[in-house]
Structure 1
Amino acid sequence: MNAAFELLGERILWTDAIGNVLSLAVVWLAMRKTLWTWPVQLAGAALLLAASVHADVPGNALKQLLFIALAGFGWLAWSRGTRDHRDLLVRPATVRERVTLLVVLAVGTAAVAELFTHLSWLHIAWSPWANAYVFVGSAIATFAQSRALVDFWIIWMLVDLVGVPLAVKSGLYASAAVYGVFFVLVLLGFTRWRREYRSRQAGFAAQPVG
């Protein structure tokens, strides 16, 4: 956990660096809808958990614990979706699902921010709302990913906008750099999944009736 290297005058933890490399791999794997997405995400979350504990960033550590649990759930969900060598079918969220996700994001952020404010041992009183937003948003994005919803890419974009400055403030520079790369990859992933869904719908529409 203490192993580190110097980069541009900053001390970078190997757990933080390797964990974030695996996190980037998760985005690439998710774009291709491979089941390997989830075990790689689980391993990356475990390493980032170690980095967060060492850096004394318990709020981020709690997020990684949540990722580990959600990775297991997503693994099971995608396993069912690809059973008998079927291709995982992606789709946009329904209006009801989108409203639910947004409500959970808003209410969850407020509730977790209030919790973070009163838990002084978490050492995040300076940014309870930002930490809460990233925590809840990341959980919602991962859940939507497990449901193969195209919208999960959009949620990740919104999380990244806050994740970069938050990681810099916490001293996790590797995480901050990766969040920036994430944003580009997430845009590509969103385009790919949306194109795939539209192509499938066009194929259905072109099929002869009867």
Structure 2
Amino acid sequence: MNPLLTLFDAEIHLGGATILWREVVGNTFGIASAVGGMKRVVWAWPVGIAGNALLFTVFMGALFHTPQELNLYGQAGRQLLFITVSVYGWTRWLQSRHDSGAAVLPHWATTRQRIVMAATMIVGTVVFAQVFGLLGSYGRWAEAWIFTGSVLATYGMARGWTEFWLIWIGVDVVGVPLLLQAGFYPSAVLYLVYAGFVLWGFAVWLRIQRRAVGEDAPASGL
């Protein structure tokens, strides 16, 4: 028997709920990627890509005949964009490690970059809500918010902006209720667990950023 097909079809039955193992595995990869991102290690990107590929098949439930038989186009679409942005982040961190010895140095985004991020969040949510509505997506406004925020957060991680952790908090606040309502329980649990990692990661990156600034201060006074 093909082990990949076995994983693809494997289910867990808890009470009256049916959960796919690939949803559990995909979300586990997502947590591992978050931990790797916090530690600023390059392997965070390929691990995240593997999880994104699995979760795409989960959220296109009607296409891949999941127990929910429900398409969340925003959740599925963001997995594809995650893969695209992750390739960019993977390349950028590899180049940074080659040039400076560190995959990324955390820092705040500039005022202009923050304005662009805020505008992108607003416009992206409105535009994608219309797109997901036309596609018949479940929870189009929540989906649009999660989709836009997830892409911004992943791009921010690639650029080394410490704010990307805060964007993830905004995504989690909307994502948990949506996924619970839609019956994607492992993914909802991931969002809750991920929120803890996000707060931890934000504190870690902020500490690294402040330490770097402190080390540069004496040199700037010479």
TM-score band, normalised by shorter chain: over 0.9
Pair 1:4-2:18 in alignment: no
CA drift at 1:25: 0.7
Q: Secondary structure at the match of 2:9?
A: coil
Report the counterpart of residue 57 of structure 1 in structure 2: 71
Q: TM-score, normalised by structure 1?
A: 0.93
Q: Is the 8 A contact 1:57 1:170 kept in 2?
A: no
* Matched AA of 1:167: L
Pair 1:188-2:200 in alignment: yes
- Greater relative contact order structure (CA < 8 Å, 6+ sep): 1
CA drift at 1:8: 4.5
Q: Secondary structure at the match of 1:5?
A: strand
For residues 12-27 of structure 1, the aligned pairs below 5 Å read 12-27=19-34
CA drift at 1:7: 2.9
* Matched AA of 2:107: R
Of the candidates 154, 158, 171, which is equivalent to residue 142 of structure 1? 154
* Matched AA of 2:89: G
CA drift at 1:147: 0.4
Q: Secondary structure at the match of 2:95?
A: helix
Of the candidates 96, 99, 113, which is equivalent to residue 97 of structure 1? 113
Provide the rounded CA distance (Å) in 2 between the counterparts of 1:194 and 1:203.
14
Q: 1:143 to 1:64 in 2, by over 3 A?
A: same
CA drift at 1:85: 6.0
Report the counterpart of residue 113 of structure 1 in structure 2: 129
Any unmatched runs of 5+ in structure 2?
1-7
Provide the rounded CA distance (Å) in 1 between the counterparts of 2:85 and 2:128.
18
1:139-182: CA deviation from partner (whole Å, max 9, x where unpaired): 11001111011010000011000010111122110000010011
Report the counterpart of residue 69 of structure 1 in structure 2: 84
Provide the rounded CA distance (Å) in 2 between the counterparts of 1:152 and 1:22.
19
Report the counterpart of residue 130 of structure 1 in structure 2: 142
Q: Secondary structure at the match of 1:207?
A: helix
Q: TM-score, normalised by structure 2?
A: 0.88
* Matched AA of 1:207: A
Provide the rounded CA distance (Å) in 2 between the counterparts of 1:137 and 1:15.
24
Provide the rounded CA distance (Å) in 1 between the counterparts of 2:150 and 2:220.
42
Structure 1 segments, 4+ long, off by >4 Å, are none
Considering only aligned residues, what root-mean-square deviation do their CA atoms show, in Å?
1.4
Any unmatched runs of 5+ in structure 1?
none
Count of aligned pairs? 206
Percent of residue pairs identical = 36
Of the candidates 185, 190, 204, which is equivalent to residue 216 of structure 2? 204
